[in-house]
Structure 1
Amino acid sequence: MSGEAEFRRIAADIRRRIQAGEWAPGQALPSRAAMGSEYHVHEQTIRLAYDLLRRSALLDGQRRRGVYVAHPPAMRTLTDVDAKWPYDSETTDTRPHAATDELAGRLDVPVGILLQHETVECLEPGGRSAMLVTSWWRRRRRPHTSVTAELGVVPLTEEQAHALGLLVDSLAYRVMRTRLDPHGAPVETADLILPLDRWTIRLS
């Protein structure tokens, strides 16, 4: 098994053990050396597993001072898919994309036509990623007067998981938001990716 696959496997097992109650919130985990002996790996592999779990907010603490199980984060509730994010955000990708079959259908444009695009990482006040918003539109952004939304659940891609500090294939809500002009024609569409462990959805 590759080194990367090994530390991810160990991280998944530690996550399972925490969820089973082996360590409670606020309780310190064993040292990297002790866990390395238990899993029969170098302690550097445990460091990578701990770092991954720290990025996902399951663990807290300083790298050289030990880690402990983090207290559960506050849950947010999404009620307005078009609301402005109230905290900091970072635009992480603005490369144009050719319209896939799905995007062409959502925007009512020909398949393959070049679309403008951006991915925005919405951050909590403490700096942790809360959700990802990826938007597509044609030519320039235009005003909208109404919004439609469709809710589903999807596994995270590797890129999404890395941004959100979660394991690949973790499940997340996917809200497909489409903005419409006064005539009901789509002017922009977006995927809002919200981790299941950080959000509840209440759309009216």
Structure 2
Amino acid sequence: MEERALHRRIADALVRRIQQGEWAAGEQIPSRIDLASEYGVHEQTVRLAITLLRRDGVLEGEKRRRLYVAYPPAVRTLTDPDGDWPYGCEVIDAGTRRTSPELADRLRIPAGATARWETLECWDPGGRSAMLVTSWWRGWRREHASAAFEVGTVRLDARQAQAFRLPMDTVALIVQRTRLDAGGLPVEVADLVLPADRWRLRV
């Protein structure tokens, strides 16, 4: 019980230091080893305190990596998953691959057929990663006449978690977008992954 009380006191002390401006949003805090030395406690005690602060959204970052003071969530509403993104995006990966049965079904092509793909990282106005968009298509990219959407949830994998500076396995929103030609056939499909604490969906 004493250990539990101690790590909570350290968590409270770190929150006070953040509120007093010692570390700004987006700034790294000292390492767990340095904090343990500063407070004269075992490193595990600091780990417990940091776990509380990550859970409460005060700190963000992956386990065993440096942690940052979290920005207050800027909750945005996504109303047009097929619209242009206004704040800038960058292609972070691309290539070709053989389609899985599930992806082939979405594209309405034979399983194992080769499709092109790319992943875009889209930023919010402050330059933080706001959305990851992975698209697949066959041949060349064609104009589409309409789009359809399905909304669900997904747990972040390691790469997604790193981009969003969130713990791995955090629940995120996913919009599966299908772009259709004038005849209603898919020309491109995409998964839009959005941190659930930063977005509302209205599609």
Fold shared, TM-score > 0.5 on shorter chain = yes
Deviates more, 1:28-37 or 1:188-197: 28-37
What is the aligned residue count?
171
> In the alignment, what sits opposite 2:41?
38
> In the alignment, what sits opposite 2:94?
94
Matched, 1:23 2:26: no
Aligned-pair CA distance for 1:31: 5.7
> In the alignment, what sits opposite 1:141?
141
Q: Does the C-alpha gap of structure 1 residues 184 and 68 become closer, same or farther in structure 2, counting only changes over 3 Å?
A: closer
Deviation per residue, 1:123-157 (Å, 9 max, x gap): 12222100000000000001101100000001001
Aligned-pair CA distance for 1:185: 0.3
Please, which runs of 5 or more residues in structure 1 have no aligned partner?
A: 1-12, 61-66
Tell me which structure has the larger Cα radius of gyration: 2
Question: Does the Cα contact within 8 Å between 1:26 and 1:68 map onto a contact in 2?
Answer: no
Deviation per residue, 1:90-143 (Å, 9 max, x gap): 101111121111111100001111101000000122221000000000000011
Query: How do residues 13-162 of structure 1 correspond to structure 2 at under 5 angstroms?
Result: 23=15, 26-27=19-20, 32=31, 33-35=34-36, 37-40=40-43, 58-59=58-59, 69-162=69-162
Q: In structure 2, what is the Cα distance between the partners aligned to 1:118 and 1:202?
A: 25
Please, which runs of 5 or more residues in structure 2 have no aligned partner?
A: 1-6, 24-28, 61-66
Q: In structure 2, what is the Cα distance between the partners aligned to 1:34 and 1:113?
A: 53
Deviation per residue, 1:153-193 (Å, 9 max, x gap): 01001111112211110110010000000000000000000
Structure 1 vs Structure 2: percent identity of aligned residues?
A: 45
Question: Does the Cα contact within 8 Å between 1:26 and 1:71 map onto a contact in 2?
Answer: no
Q: What is the one-letter code of the residue matched to 2:35?
A: A
Question: Does the Cα contact within 8 Å between 1:23 and 1:69 map onto a contact in 2?
Answer: no
The normalised TM-score by structure 1 is 0.72
> In the alignment, what sits opposite 2:184?
184
Question: Does the Cα contact within 8 Å between 2:145 and 2:179 map onto a contact in 1?
Answer: yes
Moved over 6 A (4+): none
Aligned-pair CA distance for 1:35: 3.5
Question: Does the Cα contact within 8 Å between 2:15 and 2:58 map onto a contact in 1?
Answer: no
The normalised TM-score by structure 2 is 0.73
Matched, 1:165 2:165: yes
Q: In structure 1, what is the Cα distance between the partners aligned to 2:191 and 2:150?
A: 10
